[in-house]
Amino acid sequence: MAKKSNNPTRKDLKELQERQKYLTDAFRTKALEKRHLQGKRTARENIEDLCDSNSFQEIGSLIVAGQKGRKSHEELRKNTPADGLISGIGKINSNRFSQNTNCYVLSYDYTVLAGTQGAFNHKKTDRLMALAEKANCPIVFFVEGGGGRPGDVDFSLVSTGGLDLSTWSSFARLSGKIPRIAVVGGYCFAGNAAIAGCADVIIATKDASMGMGGPAMIEGGGLGSHHPKDVGPSKKLAKCGVVDVVVNDEKEAVTITKKYLSYFQGTEKKWKVDPQELLHSILPTDRRYAYDVNKIIDVLADKDSVLELRSDFAKNMVTSLIRIEGRPLGLIANSTRHLGGAIDSDAADKAARFLQLCNAFQIPVVSLCDTPGFMVGPEHEELGLIRHSSRLFITAAALEVPMITIVLRKAYGLGAMAMAGGSFHESFLTLSWQSGEFGAMGLEGAVKLGFKKELEQAKNTKERDALYNQLVAHEYEKGKAINAAETLEFDEVIDPVETRARIVTALKCYQSKNQFSSNSRFIDSW
């Protein structure tokens, strides 16, 4: 907030300051105490923590709820300040980045009519959306609240259901144009939840609960009685892919919001990195063993620069924002600890949407490939695998940012091609560690299918197993990185310690064709 004069000499200035006192937490001590007893912050406390010191400038602060037909002006100013929606512009991370760090911030105020959406605060939201689009500034939206508000009688003569409101379309129209973050610190239902669902990412506290309908709407529809916390707990929503990051409390939510925004604000001038020789010991020497790919990511990336999104959803695919030499990058990776790194419908959806996010804001992508291919079987086909898996090819084909593919170990079939943007020659650079292995399908499956007749002709089980192992070993020898490289199916085999340097060189060589986000891009809500 900007500092105000303590000794106004003008009557009109004094009148303004008298009106502004209603906006402070200090004026609403009972609401403040109640909020703190619940272990929660007020909307203004969250904004103060998010924005750099004294940088937040409020917009539309003097509106009140549209209930003048049933309550006095004084009562509305006292109990419905800003109509329950605090909004304005402030700087975030300006101490780290020299370029424009302005951000439009909106927060429903749960201490005002349970953070519901009133007619005037809808109008204010639409105004802020228009300003953010014109200024090309990100939006952070604290969306805790109970949805639409039925008590705004001042508008009952001009609207029946408010179905002509443009809030959601205004926010949705900004998809792919500016970064948009939704933060949920409590209950978030109906219209508030619809705003969250339109955002690029949702950051929610562990005690948050979200739903397209709240308890009253559920019960009114004859669907039973439910406590608000049971409608859509954030931990359950994280497992099904709705919530991107679950945090302990609102303080951590603000910290993660700042970190997320930083990837869209430029390159860090200073960074630290672990010794790259650590990469030699993370990958098991036995090709059959699973490992934690996040440990590889942590070593490859600058220290403390990794932010994983949707970590509890489709765990066989990792999607993270990282930095290498201070530069923001997107990263996708197969996790062999889940489904052996095979790509199922959820994993394909997760990776495809993440690629859309990176493409929209010109963030290059690194792909760490270790997959036996797409998941197979009738149960997966019944989940629409053909369409879901193809989203990876469709999305990658539209990329306007470079993709750099690093094969860590397995690179088999269509799944490996999808991890490389559709083809190993579609990637701007395709490298393999010495541990890489390549083939049109998994080695074991290839042997069983390709040498079925020979295996069936074996005299006994012992002889068949010996022949099988011999054939697998032969296929592995033929497909291992240093031999597969002879066909130029990919660009080079490298020592893992070279990985960062190779990525940096490739990115310095690449010249972006489009420096700004295209109006035709948007980020799928799923």
SS (H, E, C) 371-409: ECCECCCHHHHCCCHHHHHHHHHHHHHCCCCCEEEEEEE
Q: Which fold has domain 276-436+481-509?
A: 2-enoyl-CoA Hydratase; Chain A, domain 1 (3.90.226)
Domain with CATH 3.90.226.10 in the chain: 31-262, 276-436+481-509
Residue found by looking up tokens 């930095």 in the block:
323
- Reported as a single tens digit per residue, the pLDDT across 448-472 is 777 788 877 877 888 887 888 788 7
Amino acid 24 reads T
Cβ 238 vs Cβ 312: under 8 Å: yes
What tokens does 504 get? 């940096």
3-class state of residue 203 by DSSP: strand
Kindly report the average pLDDT of the chain as a whole number.
91
Say which DSSP state 343 is in: B
The yes-or-no verdict on residue 1 having pLDDT over 70 is no
Of all residues in the chain, the percent with pLDDT exceeding 90 is 75
**Contacts of residue 75, Cβ cutoff 8 Å, sequence gap at least 6:** none
Instruction: Return d(Cα 322, Cα 477) in angstroms, integer.
Output: 34
Architecture of the structural domain at 31-262: Alpha-Beta Complex (3.90)
pTM over 0.85: yes
- Reported as a single tens digit per residue, the pLDDT across 128-142 is 999 999 999 999 999
Cβ 438 vs Cβ 412: under 8 Å: yes
The yes-or-no verdict on residue 6 having pLDDT over 70 is no
Cβ 287 vs Cβ 359: under 8 Å: no
What tokens does 120 get? 């005037």
- Reported as a single tens digit per residue, the pLDDT across 341-351 is 999 999 999 99
What tokens does 69 get? 């037909």
